[in-house]
């Protein structure tokens, strides 16, 4: 078993990951999983039940109350923060259960236009009548706002759930919210920002609550480089109470080591250049898309725009799964995805978020694009590409986070250990 884990570590230490729904958990945040806290229940019991029943989590749980929640409130501007979600899909489930209603309509973004494939399915399991958010026939990336107004007037939805798992350009969230609220002020609008949280929290994209959404949130491990967890946010007291009443019955203990890791990641975002990181992700995605388009055909666009998010899409000449396997052998990890909204077919979906977290910039984007295209069209041998990718990856170090010296110091505090062993572990975390 350990040999298999070792094989994984060696592979990823010599590869560049371009999967848009993944990111690099920083060395400091990974320290949370070395603690005894990983073994403890944490229920927010004082808040929910008035007293503790599982006291093992009562001490480390102070991180949530004293660090994480206040910092998220500061970074996001939201008055109420729910950190119970253990994944993006879990947070989706909580939001659908809280704000939708049996036998009433929930409007969702169809996968053909970039929505998560599970949203309508989960809504259906709760007895919601799922309807698709309408998009313009001639512009698959643009919401058809007049058609949306007609749909809302006709169906009186309880919930409009707006998400984009697959997007080259940001959806017009402000237009959607305005249209829905003009026709049906009582309809709840929730924005799932899983893929774009780093852009929202850095101020580069509009903050959904400021745009008029009733709530928003999502996973914390995509453009935001945190653990596999999720947040839900609102400014409304009644909405917060509804979230709490639903979440305590859909989420058991919410993994206190994840809470600590998320708190560390949020501190790093606030103190180690989170805004610079978010800007660099967008710049790197644009540079990578341009370089890949210059190398040959297949790069997708939205009305001539290659990307305004972290994502880049590619339709290779051959089978996307076979080419993705060749790229993996060459150390370039990509995501075969069906459908790409631009084609309605299987293609390759990529994100530059993790590469940016490794400190890569425009020169690396050009080299990566050239290698990817070369392998995809059999112009560059897999072995040659693998050597070049490995050299790039092994020269990189996690960026926009606490330094190796800081992590070594915290390791000593956490373990009471000293000497070369701690330094070696810190160096391994930064490899």
pLDDT for 419 equals 61
pLDDT at 53 over 80: no
Strands 345-351 and 335-340: antiparallel
Fold of 273-395: 3.90.1150
d(CA 246, CA 240): 10
Q: Where are the alpha helices (DSSP H) in 251-378?
A: 256-271, 274-295, 320-329, 353-357, 362-376
The whole-angstrom distance between residue 12's C-alpha and the CA centroid of its chain comes to: 19
pLDDT at 45 over 70: no
Instruction: Give residue 74's pLDDT band: very low, low, confident or very high (50, 70, 90).
Output: very high
- Greater confidence, 126 or 53? 126
Assign 9 to helix, strand or coil.
Answer: helix
Q: What is the DSSP string of 90-121?
A: HHHHHHHHHH--TTSEEEE--GGGT--TTHHH
pLDDT at 66 over 90: yes
C-beta separation of 209 from 78 below 8 A:
yes
d(CA 110, CA 117): 7
Q: Where are the domains of the chain?
A: 44-271, 273-395, 405-431
Residue 44: phi, psi to the nearest 5? 55, 40
C-beta separation of 306 from 289 below 8 A:
yes
**Cα separations in angstroms, 85 against 248, 253, 261, 323:** 10, 10, 14, 35
Q: What is the DSSP string of 214-256?
A: SEEEEESSSSS---S-EEEEES-HHHHHHHHHHHHHH-S---H
Please state, as a whole number, how many other Cβ atoms lie within 10 Å of the Cβ of residue 241: 13
Least confident of 21-30, 192-201, 237-246, 406-415: 406-415
The pLDDT tens digits of the residues spanning 132-183 come to 999 999 999 999 999 999 999 999 999 999 999 999 999 999 999 999 999 9
The pLDDT tens digits of the residues spanning 199-232 come to 999 999 999 999 999 999 999 999 999 999 999 9
pTM: 0.96
The two most distant CA atoms of the chain are separated, in Å, by: 70
Question: If you count them, how many residues does the chain have?
Answer: 431
d(CA 305, CA 302): 5
Instruction: Give residue 420's pLDDT band: very low, low, confident or very high (50, 70, 90).
Output: low
Integer Rg of the chain from CA: 22
Fold of 44-271: 3.40.640
């Amino acid at each position: 078993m350990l040999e298999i884990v070792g094989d994984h570590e060696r592979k990823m230490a010599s590869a560049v990951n371009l999967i848009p729904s993944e990111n690099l958990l920083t060395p400091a945040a990974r320290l949370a999983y070395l603690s005894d806290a990983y073994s403890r229940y944490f229920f927010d019991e004082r808040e929910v039940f008035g007293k503790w029943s599982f006291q093992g989590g009562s001490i480390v749980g102070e991180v949530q109350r004293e660090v994480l929640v206040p910092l998220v409130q500061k970074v996001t501007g939201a008055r109420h923060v729910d950190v119970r979600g253990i994944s993006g899909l879990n947070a989706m489930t909580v939001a659908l259960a809280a704000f939708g209603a049996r036998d009433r309509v929930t409007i969702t973004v169809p996968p053909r236009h970039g929505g998560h494939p599970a949203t309508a399915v989960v809504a259906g399991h709760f007895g919601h009548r799922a309807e698709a958010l309408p998009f313009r026939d001639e512009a698959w990336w643009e919401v058809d706002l007049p058609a949306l107004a007609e749909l809302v007037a006709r169906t009186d939805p309880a919930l409009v759930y707006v998400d984009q798992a697959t997007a080259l350009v940001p959806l017009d969230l402000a237009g959607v919210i305005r249209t829905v609220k003009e026709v049906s002020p009582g309809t709840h609008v929730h924005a799932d920002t899983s893929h774009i949280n780093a852009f929202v929290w850095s101020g580069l994209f509009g903050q959904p609550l400021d745009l008029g959404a009733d709530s928003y949130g999502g996973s914390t491990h995509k453009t935001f480089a945190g653990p596999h967890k999720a947040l839900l946010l609102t400014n409304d007291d009644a909405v917060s109470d509804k979230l709490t009443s639903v979440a305590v019955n859909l989420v058991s203990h919410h993994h206190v080591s994840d809470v600590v890791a998320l708190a560390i990641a949020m501190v790093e975002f606030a103190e180690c250049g989170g805004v610079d990181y978010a800007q660099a992700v967008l710049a790197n995605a644009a540079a990578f898309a341009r370089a890949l388009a210059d190398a040959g055909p297949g790069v997708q666009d939205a009305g001539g725009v290659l990307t305004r998010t972290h994502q880049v899409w590619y339709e290779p000449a051959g089978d996307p799964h076979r080419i993705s396997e060749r790229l993996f052998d060459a150390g370039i990890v990509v995501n075969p995805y069906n459908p790409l909204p631009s084609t309605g077919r299987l293609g390759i979906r990529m994100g530059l978020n993790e590469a940016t977290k490794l400190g890569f910039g425009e020169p690396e984007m050009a080299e990566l694009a050239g290698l990817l295209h070369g392998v995809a069209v059999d112009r560059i041998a897999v072995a040659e590409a693998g050597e070049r990718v490995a050299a790039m990856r092994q020269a990189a170090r996690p960026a926009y986070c606490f330094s190796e010296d800081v992590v070594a110091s915290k390791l000593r505090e956490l373990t009471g250990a000293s000497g070369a062993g701690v330094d070696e572990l810190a160096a391994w975390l930064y490899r």
